Structure 1
Amino acid sequence: MTGSTSQAGVRFEQDGPVATVTLCRPEVLNAQTPAMWAELGNISRKLTGDVRVVIVRGEGRSFSAGLDLSVARGEGVSSLAHLAQLSEAECAERIAGSQEAFTWLRRPSLVTVAAVQGHAIGAGFQLALNCDLRILADDARFSMAEVTLGLVPDLGGTKRLTELIGPSRALEVCLTGRRIEAREAERIGLATAVVSGDELDTAARDLAAAVLAADPGATAEIKALISGASGRSYADQDRAEREAQTRRLRDLFFVTPDLE
C-alpha cells in the first residue's frame, strides 16, 4: 500500500486496484476549502491505470460539513466576495476549476464509492453525489444547503440528484435545504445501502471487492450504459447495448478487427 497526506487536509492511499481518498480535517467536520479541491484535482491526475475503484470517505464523525465558511466569508482570494468581483468569465472559470475536483469521480474507467457518516452538507453532499455508489452509516444526513447562503449547487450535484430522485423531489431538496436522514435517503434512491456506523468501512471495502470481481471491460461498458441511459431513447439504448455487447464479444474471443 502507498499513501500520502497533503497539508490541504486530504489523504490518498492506494492498495492495488483500490484507491482511498480521505478528507482529514475532522476538527471542522471536514469542511472543504479551495486548497482541498486543488488537492482532489491533483489526485485525479496521479491515479495509476490499474486503479479500478475509488473510495471517498471523511475522517471523524462526519463525511463533510460542506464549504468552510471561515474561508468563504473571509477576505482572501478564495472568498465569495472576491469571486463576485471577478468578471463573469473569470468567475465561471474559477468555478470550473473547483468542479474538476468532483467531476473526475464520474470517470468511465472508475467505479467510485462514497462512504458517508454524519453530516454531508452542500459540497459534502455533492461530493457523495459525484460518486457512482453511496454507502451510508445510519447516522448520515444529507442536505443541499447552498440555498441558505443565497447560492446554488455548483459542484456537479444537480444532474445526478435529479437522475436519482426525479426533478420534483430534487427541486424540493435544493430549495428547502432540509436534512435527509439515512433511511429516507435509502427509500428515495440516494443510498445504495445503509449500515451501522461501525460497519461502514467494511461495507465500502466489501462493495469494492465485489466490483473488482467483475470483468474490467464489462464493468466499464455497464457503467457507460447505465450513466448514459437517461439521455437516450429506448431505441438508442437498445443500440448502445448491442454495440457494447459486440465489443465485449470481440474482446473476449480475440476477434481481429475488420480490415477494409
Structure 2
Amino acid sequence: MPDAKILLERDGVRLAVDDSVAHITLCNPAKRNAQSPALWRALTEAGRLLPGQVRVVVLRGEGVSFSAGLDRQAFTPEGFDGEPSFLDLARGSEDGLDAAISGYQDAFSWWRRTDLITVAAVQGHAIGAGFQLALACDLRVCADDVQFAMRETSLGLVPDLTGTKPLVELVGYGRALEICATGRFVRADEAERTGLANLVVPAADLDAAVGDLVAALLAPPRDAVIETKALLRTAAAHTETEQYAAERAAQGRRLRDLAGVGE
C-alpha cells in the first residue's frame, strides 16, 4: 500500500512533522497551487495524520504564490479525472450537492482545532479558495508582495469554504462585504492595518519571521495555550456572564493542574 504522505503529495500537499511542529505545503507551484477537490481531500487527510505531540501547524504555498484559488477546470464539462465536475454536481440532487460542499469545507475547518495553533505563511497571490485557506488559520504572516482577493462573486458564486465568518471577524462587516462584492486586491499594507495579517515582512524574511513566531508560540505550557484559544474562540458568541464563567472554569482547571489536584 502506498505511503500516505506520498498520496498526499500526488494531490498537491506535502506534510512534514518536526517534533511539535507540522509543516503543510501546497506543492504545485507550476499551477500557482491552484486548488481542486483532490487537494482538499489531501488537506483533510493531512489534518487527520497529525501526531498528538504537534502543537503548531505552519501552512505554506511553494513557489511565487500561496494559492491562486480554485482550478478553473472544475467548471469545465469534463471536470477532473475520476470525479464529477461542479456542473455535474449542480445538476444532481440538492442533498448530494450539499454533501459535496460540506466535504470540501472539511479541508478548511480543522485548522481551528483548539489543540493546535495554525499559522499561514502567505506570499504572492491568495485568491478565492487561497484567501479562504489563509483565513482558516489562526494567524497569518505575510510577505510584502501578498495580494488577497475574494473573486467568487465575479464567477457568480459565493465564498463557501468557511471564509466568510473569519473575514467578518477580522475586518468587520462593511469592509468584508466590499472586499467580497468587488473582488478587489487587498495588499500587504491594508492587510496589516485591518488585521488580516498579524505581521508583514519582506519576502526574503518570511521563513525567518514564521520561525520566530513558532518559537514564541511553543514557549508557554501547551495546556494554557489550549485553554486560552478555546476562551478566545467563544468570546464573541458568549454573553459577558457566560464568558466570565468560562474564564473561571478554565482557570480552575489550570490551577488544579498546577497544584497537582486529582493526580
* TM-score under structure 1 length normalisation: 0.95
What residue is the counterpart of 2:69 in the other structure? 66
C-alpha change, 1:53 and 1:91, in structure 2 (3 Å) is same
Alignment of 1:48-87 (within 5 A): 48-76=51-79, 77-87=83-93
Aligned-pair CA distance for 1:209:
1.0
Residue 257 of structure 2 aligns to which amino acid in structure 1?
Answer: D
Deviations 1:68-111 (A, max 9, x none): 00233342334221121121111000001000011110111000
What residue is the counterpart of 2:229 in the other structure? 223
Q: 1:168 aligns with which of 171, 174, 180?
A: 174
CA contact (8 A) 2:15 2:46 kept: yes
Alignment of 1:169-188 (within 5 A): 169-188=175-194
CA contact (8 A) 1:31 1:66 kept: yes
Aligned partners of 1:122, 1:78: CA distance in 2, in Å? 21
Aligned partners of 1:54, 1:73: CA distance in 2, in Å? 34
Aligned-pair CA distance for 1:169:
1.2
Residue 68 of structure 2 aligns to which amino acid in structure 1?
Answer: A
Aligned partners of 1:72, 1:249: CA distance in 2, in Å? 54
What residue is the counterpart of 1:214 in the other structure? 220
Residue 97 of structure 2 aligns to which amino acid in structure 1?
Answer: C
Deviations 1:176-223 (A, max 9, x none): 111000110110111000000011111112111111111100000110
Gaps of 5+ in 2: none
CA contact (8 A) 1:44 1:104 kept: yes
SS in 1 for 2:126: strand
What residue is the counterpart of 1:93 in the other structure? 99
Aligned-pair CA distance for 1:253:
1.0
The answer on 1:44 being equivalent to 2:47 is: yes
Alignment of 1:104-253 (within 5 A): 104-253=110-259
Deviations 1:17-38 (A, max 9, x none): 0000000111111100111111
Q: 1:10 aligns with which of 8, 13, 34?
A: 13
C-alpha change, 1:92 and 1:132, in structure 2 (3 Å) is same
Q: Which 10-residue stretch deviates more, 75-84 or 208-217?
A: 75-84
| Aligned residue-pair number | 255
- Counting aligned pairs with the same residue, the percent is 55
CA contact (8 A) 1:72 1:78 kept: no
Aligned-pair CA distance for 1:256:
2.2
CA contact (8 A) 1:26 1:59 kept: yes
Residue 252 of structure 1 aligns to which amino acid in structure 2?
Answer: L
Gaps of 5+ in 1: none
Residue 27 of structure 1 aligns to which amino acid in structure 2?
Answer: A
Q: Compute the RMSD of aligned alpha carbons.
A: 1.2
SS in 1 for 2:118: strand
Q: Give 4+ residue runs of structure 1 displaced > 4 Å after superposition.
A: none
Deviations 1:129-174 (A, max 9, x none): 0100000000001001111100000111001111111111111111
Residue 45 of structure 2 aligns to which amino acid in structure 1?
Answer: N
What residue is the counterpart of 1:32 in the other structure? 35
Residue 139 of structure 2 aligns to which amino acid in structure 1?
Answer: L
